[in-house]
Structure 1
Amino acid sequence: MYPQQVHSYLREFFTENDCTILSEDRHYLTVQLTVDIDKKIMNRPFYWQYIEATNSEPNPAQITFITNQTTSSANLYGEAIHFGSPRLNQVFQATRELGAYVEMYEVVDPTIGQAILTPWLGINYKVSYCCDRTKEMLYSFGINLLTGVIKKNFQETLCKTSLETAPGENVFHVQPIIKPIRALQRLEAAINAIIEQDDHSWALEAKKRWQRDQRVLDYFYEDIDDKPECYDIEKKALEEQYETKIKIDIINGGLFYLY
């Protein structure tokens, strides 16, 4: 996930959850959190317990997130946030808790008269390549529920589009031809195709590191015929550490009617 994608995702998340963006550049954004979002992503349970117990005035955090660590952002004071960082993972978790699925309609200028909105299913995926090291990637796809056309980087399109939770009076939204469950299967096939075409040398390298550490472990116990329980425990720990797996998680998604 590139810095600009992280930036766009955060802007969309905070805007949708009524957090005021106080200032912003392509390297950072400063946000006034709401009470609910502060509780979900700022790790201040004792503070909020005190506020609620004493019925005090809440003071949700105001924070600057630095989304691109470059020379132009070197003098910024704030929290660096990037794909794989604990804070961004908390934002992903908050997204799931607050509502992983939405239905929204593009706002169309009423002066153009009657407008027809086309249904799209949009899904944001997180793909994790896991072993003793973890690599995570974010993919965003949209599929047209009339034609079946799949569009990459769909989240970026949504970030540039004005959306509301109810259709405007001047729009007519077409009902989907392709069922969402079938569309989801097509998107899963698309994400699997990307994974299959990716470079998987990381798995081979992990296997080599596993074999190396296994040889070291065997060396320490090579003169012992009846291996003790601690040997089996350490061997199992190496397996859990180096075993390679790929996880595909849906971060969120929705049905979007676009002009």
Structure 2
Amino acid sequence: MNNTQIQEYCRKFFAATNSPILRDEPNFLQVELPREIDKELTDRPYYWMWVETIGEPVPNTVLNLVFDPDVEIEDVQRTELIALGCFRLEKIFESARRRGQFVRLTQTDTPSLLRVPFLLTTLKISWMADRRRDEIRSYGINLKSGKIYPELYEQVRDLPFVNSYPESESDSVNRSLLAASLQTGWQQIKDTVLEQLQNDDHSWAEQAKERLQSEIDQLETYYQSLLLENEQKQVNLAAEKELRIAELKWRSQPRIEVQPIHFALLYLDATQLTDSSSGT
């Protein structure tokens, strides 16, 4: 990310968190932090404990952020440089990750009668052994029909959304039904992912097992030679060998890990979507 991209990212973050941007200039943002955002971007828990104990109002923090070390801002004496690796930007990234783990959005360019709830999830799938391959996949499910949409994110990422519940989902009864549908939908997505992974080509795992066994055989040969030379240390060497083999298996045993990254409850017009699945 260059300076312009970092500033644009920060601008979007502050807009999304309702943090007023007081000044927006090339390589400079002046931002007022609401209390909730201040807590996330600053490391002063004892200050906030004191503020909330005395119960008196305190002025919001104002940050003066520059994105170029050579820039000078008139009538601003103290500025903070924002660059990759700095404390404040890492806090912004951390807050964005946490806040983005679950979102609720409603499509705005379609009649309300056509909108139905979808669960969208982004998964990180890792094929791990002595080598590793990671892949990001998205899956969506129509919570009314149960239909799965692989790579739903690609279809909805450019749609206009607003962060709100439709009126039809505003009462507690509908929300209770929705909660049950979300659990069922998530289980269906997990079942779909598991089925896909089971049907994948597993030659990589067989090859990894062969490499692992080769390394174990080498360890066995090595420790056998040590045991012949050090008969008095047989117990210790045997224990050390088992530990080395266990470490080797822990590091190189082929396995697949699936990690959910984001969830979204989306109210979409299903008639605008295409079914990219085959036989799902």
Measured against the shorter chain, the TM-score band is: 0.5 to 0.7
- The corresponding residue for 2:136 is 138
The structure having more radius of gyration, on CA atoms, is: 2
Q: Deviations over 1:194-245 (max 9, x none)?
A: 1011111111111111111122222222231525144333222211221122
The CA distance in 2 between the partners of 1:129 and 1:214, in whole Å, is 21
Check conservation: 1:106, 1:167, Cα contact below 8 A: no
State the partner residue of 2:264.
254
Name which of 56, 59, 65 aligns with 1:59: 65
Alignment pair present for 1:117 and 2:115: yes
Q: Which of these residues, 204, 218, 235, is aligned with residue 245 of structure 2?
A: 235
Aligned to 1:206: 208
Residue 104 of structure 1 corresponds to: 105
What is the total number of aligned residue pairs between the two structures? Answer: 195
Tell me the percent identity.
19
Q: Is the 8 A contact 2:104 2:165 kept in 1?
A: no
Unaligned runs of 5+ in 2: 1-7, 17-28, 45-60, 69-83, 85-91, 229-233, 270-280
Q: Which amino acid aligns with 1:153?
A: E
Q: List runs of 5+ in structure 1 lacking aligned partners.
A: 1-10, 20-31, 50-54, 63-78, 80-89
TM-score by length of 1: 0.60
TM-score, scaled to structure 2: 0.56
How far apart in 2 are the matches of 1:14 and 1:122? Answer: 26
For the structure 1 residues 60 and 194, does the alpha-carbon distance in structure 2 shift closer, same or farther, using more than 3 Å as the test? Answer: farther
User: Aligned pair 1:196/2:198, yes or no?
Assistant: yes
Residues 13 and 96, structure 2, Cα contact 8 Å, conserved in 1? no
Distance in 1 between residues matched to 2:11 and 2:207, nearest whole Å: 39
Q: Which amino acid aligns with 2:183?
A: I
Question: CA 1:163/1:56 → structure 2, altered by over 3 Å: closer, same or farther?
Answer: closer
Return closer, same or farther for 1:238/1:12 CA change in 2, 3 Å cut-off: same
What is the CA distance between 1:127 and its match in structure 2?
1.2
- TM-aligned CA deviation for residue 154 of structure 1: 1.1
Matched AA of 1:243: Q
Q: Distance in 2 between matches of 1:230 and 1:207?
A: 22
- The offset of 1:191, in angstroms, is 0.7
CA distance in 1, matches of 2:118, 2:262: 14
Aligned structure 1 segments of 4 or more residues deviating by more than 4 angstroms = 11-19, 55-58, 93-96, 171-178
SS in 1 for 2:139: strand
Equivalent residue letter for 2:138: S
Q: Which has the higher helix share?
A: 2
